[in-house]
Amino acid sequence: MILTLTYTIDSHSRDKNLPDKVTTYKDQKGWKLLVNGKDYYVKGVVWGYTPIGESYAYNLWEYPEAYIMKVLDYECALMKNAGINTIRSFSMIPPKWVTYMYQKHGIMTAINHLMGRYGYTIGGVWRTATNYADPLTRETLKRDCLAFVEKYKDVPGILMFAFGNESNYGLEWSSFAIEDLPVGEQHKEKAKALYSLFNEIMHEGKKIDKNHLFTIVNGDIQYLDLIKKYCTDMDVLGTNSYRGKSFTDLFERSKKELGLPVLFFEFGSDAYNALEGREDQVSQAIYLKQQWREMYNKAYGKGEEGNCIGGFTFEWRDEWWKYGQSKNLDIHDNTASWGNGGYSFDYDAKHKNNMNEEWFGICRLGPPDANGVAIAEPRMAYYVIAEIFKMDPYTTTKTGYQSEYQQN
């Protein structure tokens, strides 16, 4: 019996209006995630809903409830068919819809406050660069993040609280206290301010909510030493990682230097071949297959690090606004905006950029259906993931799922 089905049955045997109890378990075989005392491996996607012609400002939750239900029923049915059990979203999903997806479709949510990652209103003024050392900024973010915890703490369907999004990559601000330091030391001082604030929020958040886990969303494992020193109240290492087919030393270093389970809040591959100028479903599927295979190998009881508790594939469907932001919203742009040598299928050092932000979906973004709901057209990667998710890394032997990988 696969994990998602086991969990669905269990969720019906308890009062579904109560918050879920989420914990971690550790022994000599590694780490597990538990929901209401049952093993839970995160088989997730980064989920969002932005139809063709809309920008990042699109807000599904402003629409009539009947339409929202149509969208969620359509989306969740497709996700459940692939064995997806959890979503992470950049939009602040209202509590009632978190519970709706959970109670009707069995899909949990890792709720994520960006904590000023892309700017924040401080003292009534919008600041594009968030200075995490500034007292008023710290006070404002702490207040708002704790209100966020209070808002969601009793919501059925919440898996955990996460803060930031690669915030360590966005330390753009300066101050008199650090401007005379060498550049490298300036970045480290900024990072200290960031991680200490993360921990203040998690520490106080745990006083409000004793049922859920708390984490950050770090850019890869940069500043692992500072995370170890400052984030003492963190339950799980949340990370976005784009290293290619393999996460290389991420699991080993996380185990040795931090000693917490690892949950990927983003990873994956785009489905566009920048060298050949065409959609490349096969390469995307191959990369995701290898990434999930390694994650399963690093799960509890497999004789390796035993510290991977799952992840969120980036992403559910293509977003046509990513490159132009607010222009050419009805065009699926194929301009590669950054380079990554880990994705060798279309990397060329001469041309450098090979990562296409509008093509990361395991589903294409299609036109609206008869109900006005944007169609999600599954790519090969969707079906590959669906086969992988039929296997539970906690109960399937390594030999067993390695055999399944070879067959699929």
Helices (H) and strands (E) in the chain, counts: 10, 18
What is the rounded average pLDDT for all residues in the chain?
93
The count of structural domains within the chain is 1
Q: SS3 for 63?
A: coil
| Interval 67-120: pLDDT, tens | 999 999 999 999 999 999 999 998 899 999 999 999 999 999 999 999 999 999
| Interval 242-273: pLDDT, tens | 999 999 999 999 999 999 999 999 999 999 99
Instruction: Provide mean pLDDT across the span 226-236.
Output: 99
Residue 371 contacts residue 71 (beta carbons within 8 Å): no
Instruction: Provide mean pLDDT across the span 14-37.
Output: 94
- For residue 257 the two structure tokens come to 């230097």
The one-letter amino acid at 360: F
Rounded distance between C-alpha atoms, residue 402 and residue 404, angstroms: 5
- For residue 136 the two structure tokens come to 């008023």
Mutual angle of helices 135-152 and 183-208, in 10-degree steps: 40
Instruction: Provide mean pLDDT across the span 12-36.
Output: 91
Is the entire prediction scored with pTM above 0.85?
Answer: yes
| Residue range of the domain that includes 398 | 3-407
Instruction: Provide mean pLDDT across the span 213-224.
Output: 98
What is residue 387's predicted lDDT score, i.e. its pLDDT?
Answer: 97
Rounded distance between C-alpha atoms, residue 143 and residue 269, angstroms: 36
What is residue 13's predicted lDDT score, i.e. its pLDDT?
Answer: 60
At 391, which CATH number?
Answer: 3.20.20.80
| Interval 358-375: pLDDT, tens | 999 999 999 999 999 999
